[in-house]
Amino acid sequence: MVFELLSKEKNSSAKCGLLYTDHGVIETPIFMPVGTVGSVKGIYHRDLREDIKAQIILGNTYHLYLRPGLDIINKAGGLHKFISWNRPILTDSGGFQVFSLTQNRKLTEEGCLFRSHIDGSKHLFTPENNVETQRMIGSDIVMALDECTPGDADYNYALKSLKLTQRWLERGIKHFKETEPLYGYRQFYFPIIQGCVYPDLRKMAAEHALSFDMDGYAIGGLAVGEPTEKMYQVLELLDPIMPLNKPRYLMGVGTPCNLLEAIARGVDMFDCVMPTRNGRNGMLFTENGVMNMRNRKWADDFSPIDPNGTSFVDKVYTKAYLRHLFVAGEMLAAQIASEHNVAFYLNLVKQAREHIKAGDFTQWKNKMVKRLENRL
């Protein structure tokens, strides 16, 4: 993978660059809409490309492995062809999903034994077969199998968990280097830096991961219950350790404010279900704050959903109409809100890139953070 650094702000660690893959060039900082099972919930791929202008989407190894299964994806020629998406795809290893199914999994040196949430059947992910699975899926960016440590884990558990993740990483990298992509284009492998909220463990994890000189690096195990300030402290700790010529991916984060604060601390890539999940529940993000579209105050507000929004839904539909759809339980409400929110996130990182290039990112970010937290 080639990552080209274009610009870095003097007053922070914010930077913008270009990440080259065989399915296209990605401008960073970037937000990646989450398409867990091969779809970003409620949004047509046409709209992702043309309206929202998503440059890369996420798929999830755990979910795709269980359904539709690797045989179907392989017969289709890989996930890109199966879902009719010709831009880059990143797949999570499924470690977080296994973490969230605490009652149904067992970690051993060999790997992670878990039960399907669909039918209860038993499965085993090892570092090696997890690489094979992501080879079969055909994502452009492959994530290492790791244990996602709970945010409130004590030191001894976090250390034990990190050591296991490191041994799995060594096996995963070895297998990745010994195997080839299946569909004729390059795949890239990102280690995941764990270590919970403990500075020495995070530093240990980063130095170990960096020693392999891989294509990029993910920061995992944040946004899993720890206070937001702890997350920012971890990013500040890692920032001087991480290389500028490799992309940094903060997994599962976050709110619009989280994105801007993390960009200021050197992060290049983000994913989160928040824009679609919150959208389905009536919450809209705007540059002036958050709107709850179920509130009665919008019942006779016939102004556009978001005059400053970049999606077609923002200008075509009114707040009153969208509120009506939510109150009536109409499917279209979730679609409109999801499309607005994902477009908002993509436009937010686009603005961040522009301000980094202009050299005034920090000044802009500080103003935006105050506005984004408003309740409208």
pLDDT tens for 90-116 read: 999 988 887 776 567 889 999 999 999
Asked whether residue 290 is assigned to any structural domain, the reply reads yes
Same domain? For 57 and 197 the reply is yes
Same domain? For 291 and 199 the reply is no
Same domain? For 109 and 172 the reply is yes
Please report, for residues 106, 230, 353, the alpha-carbon distance to residue 38 in angstroms, rounded to integers and kept in the order given. Answer: 27, 32, 28
Asked whether residue 2 is assigned to any structural domain, the reply reads no
Same domain? For 223 and 77 the reply is yes
Is a pLDDT exceeding 80 seen at residue 167? Answer: yes
Same domain? For 265 and 372 the reply is no
Is residue 94 packed enough to be buried (19+ CB in 10 Å), middle (13-18) or exposed (0-12)? buried
Same domain? For 155 and 203 the reply is yes
Same domain? For 234 and 304 the reply is no
What local confidence, expressed as pLDDT, does residue 300 receive? 98
Asked whether residue 13 is assigned to any structural domain, the reply reads no
What local confidence, expressed as pLDDT, does residue 100 receive? 76
What local confidence, expressed as pLDDT, does residue 102 receive? 53
Q: What is the mean pLDDT of the segment spanning 17-26?
A: 98
* 271 classed as catalytic: yes
Alpha-carbon gap, residue 32 to 254, rounded angstroms: 11
Continuous segment of H or E residues that includes residue 28:
strand 24-28
> Is the Cα torsion angle 239, 241, 243, 249 positive or negative in sign?
negative
Picking from 205, 265, 194, the residue whose alpha carbon sits closest to that of residue 229 is 265
Spatial neighbors of 69 by CB under 8 A, at least 6 apart, are: none
Higher pLDDT, 118 or 217: 217
Residue 362 tokens read as 């920090």
Q: Which of 227, 245, 272 marks a domain boundary?
A: 272
Alpha-carbon gap, residue 4 to 23, rounded angstroms: 16
pLDDT band at residue 152 using 50, 70 and 90 as cut-offs: confident
What local confidence, expressed as pLDDT, does residue 1 receive? 63
What local confidence, expressed as pLDDT, does residue 96 receive? 81
The share of the chain scoring above pLDDT 70, in percent, equals 99
- Give the helix, strand, coil percentages of the chain, each rounded to 5: 45, 20, 35
- The least confident of 5-14, 16-25, 217-226, 254-263 is 217-226
The share of the chain scoring above pLDDT 90, in percent, equals 91
pLDDT band at residue 354 using 50, 70 and 90 as cut-offs: very high
Which of 92, 140, 215, 314 does the annotation list as catalytic?
A: 92
Query: Contact 270/250 with Cβ under 8 angstroms?
Result: yes
Global pTM value: 0.97
Long-range contacts of 314-317 (CB under 8 A, 24+ apart): 314/340, 314/343
Same domain? For 307 and 197 the reply is no
Task: Give me the chain's average pLDDT, please.
Answer: 96
Asked whether residue 22 is assigned to any structural domain, the reply reads no
Strands, sheet with 2-8, edge to edge from the N-terminal-most edge strand:
2-8, 15-21, 24-28
Same domain? For 160 and 195 the reply is yes
* 92 classed as catalytic: yes
Please count the structural domains in the chain. Answer: 2
Same domain? For 82 and 126 the reply is yes
Same domain? For 186 and 305 the reply is no
Which of 146, 215, 271, 314 does the annotation list as catalytic?
A: 271
Is a pLDDT exceeding 80 seen at residue 246? Answer: yes
Domain that holds residue 86: 31-272
What local confidence, expressed as pLDDT, does residue 235 receive? 98
Q: What is the mean pLDDT of the segment spanning 248-268?
A: 97
Q: Which of 272, 299, 314 marks a domain boundary?
A: 272
